[in-house]
Each structure stands twice: as C-alpha cells, then as structure tokens.
Amino acid sequence: MQKETIILGGGCFWCTEAVFNMLRGVISVKPGYAGGTVKNPTYEQVCSGNTGHAEVIKIKYDAEVVPLETLLTIFFASHDPTTKDRQGNDVGTQYRSVIFCESSAQKDICEKFIKELNNSSEMGAPIVTTVEPLTDFYPAEDYHKNYYENNKNQSYCQVVINPKLKKVQQKFAELLK
C-alpha cells in the first residue's frame, strides 16, 4: 500500500467529501479548512470570508489503487473549476477551486494536469483552480464529518449533493467502492 494525501477545495466540503468517499482506494476523507491566516478557524469564521481559508477535504488514499491523476479527473469533473470563488449558490473565497500540495512532485502533477485540461479544449473556459503549497490544515468541527451520510434527507443533500453523486456514479462507475 502506498499511502498519500492530497487536499482539495471544490466548493462546499459536504459535496466533495461525499464524492470522494465513494471511491475505491480512498482510505479517508476529512473536511477542514486550509489556505487562510487565522489559526484554528471555526466554520462561522471561514463562512464569513474574512479568514482566507477555503473549505477543503483531506484525502488519504492508496496511490497503487487510485493514482493522483484519477483523483484529479474526478475532482475536475465534479465541480466547476472555471468559476472563480463560486460553486453554485456558494459564493466567496472560502468556496474557491484550489489544490493544496504537500510536495513539489504533487504540485508538478497538478499543474501539468491543469495545463493539459486547458490545452484540450480551445472552446472551454480556462481553469481557475489554483495550486498552492500546504501550510496548515485544520479539521472541521465534528458535525461536518460524513455530513451527507448523516443527513441524506435534508434538502441541501437532496438538491445539491445527490446530483453530483449521480454524475460521478454514472461517469466513473468502475472506480466506485
């Protein structure tokens, strides 16, 4: 087993956590905050948009089962990486599309991946996802963990998360647990 981690921000961490929890090779997914200036921020502070943090997920995965490029494929397919500081009705820097890398090798893979995406379609909008070095990751409060699994009947889960999950299930069935 080759355990690695990557931190991804693609809007609301409830959505991204639910998507990546479905994948073979993913060992754990933890919602949290990264990229800001406040130590140990709370959800309310991050939601204010004043801390500089993004809602992110920390994915621990077995790179022998699911390589980073596969995770990136799903990441870019499951959110809008062409809209700055916005995912659907969630607006603000805390919902930005961002990848926090723990190594220069990871950074190189991510930057190459984005370049290839941008070069693959002259008609598409450019990717605005930033690739940044990881400084700190702060775990989110406990009630955010496994939010979708614990709240499937809530309207947000039904209206926002379910369509994302169905899209991933249809496009990437062979990668699901």
Q: What is the pLDDT of residue 125?
A: 84
Q: What is the per-residue pLDDT for 90?
A: 87
Residues shown for the chain: 177
User: What is the per-residue pLDDT for 88?
Assistant: 83
Q: Is 12 exposed, middle or buried (0-12, 13-18, 19+ CB in 10 A)?
A: buried
Q: What is the pTM of this model?
A: 0.94
CA distance 59 to 15: 14
Neighbours of 150 (CB within 10 A): 11
Full pLDDT tens readout for the chain, 177 residues: 899 999 999 999 999 999 999 999 999 999 999 999 999 999 999 999 999 999 999 999 999 999 999 999 999 999 999 999 998 888 999 999 999 999 999 999 999 999 999 988 777 789 999 999 999 999 999 999 999 999 999 999 999 999 999 999 999 999 999
CA distance 166 to 104: 34
Looking at 12, 101, 110, 157, which residue is catalytic? 12
To the query of whether residue 12 is one of the catalytic residues in this protein, the response is yes
